Amino acid sequence: MNLLKLKNHLNKFLIPYVVVAMVIGFLVGLHINVKVHFHMFKILNMVVVISMIYPMMINLQIEAMGKAAKSWKQILIALIVGLVFAPLLIYGLNLLFHINPTLSLGLLLATVVPCSSMAIAYTGLSDGNLELATIVVALSFSLAIITVPGWLKLFASGYHLSISAWLLIKTIIIVVFIPLFFGYLTRILLLKRMGFEGFEKIKPLFPSISIIGMFAIVLLIFMEKAKLIASKPSVVAISLVPLALYYIITLLVLTFFDRKIGLSYEDHMGVVFTSVGKNEGTAMAIAMAAGMGLMAIPPAITPILQIPFLVGYLKLAQIIKKWWK
């Protein structure tokens, strides 16, 4: 199987592989004590995330990021949707369904955090504007130092949360800037050694590695959260309703809005994945700092919906591209 066939195969069977990873991770997680291996899982998660983002950064053209930075309209849309529209929408849905206050705070926590680092991978896999996505991820994490505690204070003045600004700064350095730096160096070395034509031949390998990394992180997430999800199925079910509506409404609104105002398909994909996807790892860390309980469950179950919705949208990329034209 050559590299292009491997890439096409993984793209074609993306959802089945993700579902298999979710099921295996959940079943294995029910039979192991994750707490005993907490530090090992923490390191493994970071390694897998970096291994997923780093290959995408090799295909990133740094020179084009200067041009992407001038796309103020696209950047503004992504930041407003991700950091303002998302928490307001989930707050309204919580009121609509009369969600328990503590559980409601957990749902807000799951959506006020910045975009997932996986958004860069999703954008690259959909042939979207990778440079734009990278800038939005970097800005989202930077602004989240203000927006996360701000929203939590506004919506939950009765809760006293200890928000670590260093956690957000450290996350953006590890999952964005380090892979970006080494990805750029790798690209220069490969172009210098192999030439442009040689580089183009191995180019399909990098998104394939990212997809495999995505399967691995899905498996790890569900392995870690299996017992928490299994212990409170009714709470999980209640939390899934507003979360599902959040993804449906936001994806539909962004798709029609972006096309209406004339964004290109590439820019739209960069906007949609960086504004809709959330960093459940950061949300869980904040929940842990505030004390576990109902508040920690929504961030833990976010991947149950986020992964299928974003992967499903990724699978519709070619149909969306045709409709865009």
Whole-number Å distance between alpha carbons of 78 and 72: 10
Tens-place pLDDT, residues 1-41: 577 788 788 877 877 888 898 899 999 999 988 778 878 88
Tens-place pLDDT, residues 57-99: 887 766 666 666 778 899 999 999 999 999 999 989 988 988 8
Which domains occur in the chain, in start order?
3-317 (1.20.1530.20)
Tens-place pLDDT, residues 253-268: 999 999 999 999 999 9
Whole-number Å distance between alpha carbons of 116 and 311: 13
Q: Residue 151 carries which side chain, given as an amino acid letter?
A: W
Contact criterion met (CB below 8 Å) for 155 and 289: no
Q: Residue 166 carries which side chain, given as an amino acid letter?
A: W
CB atoms under 10 Å from CB of 275, counted, come to 24
Longest Cα–Cα distance of the chain, Å, equals 61
- What's the pLDDT band for 192 if we cut at 50, 70, 90? very high
Q: Among residues of the chain, what percentage have pLDDT more than 90?
A: 27
Tens-place pLDDT, residues 293-303: 567 778 877 87
- What's the pLDDT band for 290 if we cut at 50, 70, 90? low
In this prediction the pTM is 0.76
Residues, the chain = 325
Residue 164: the pLDDT is 62
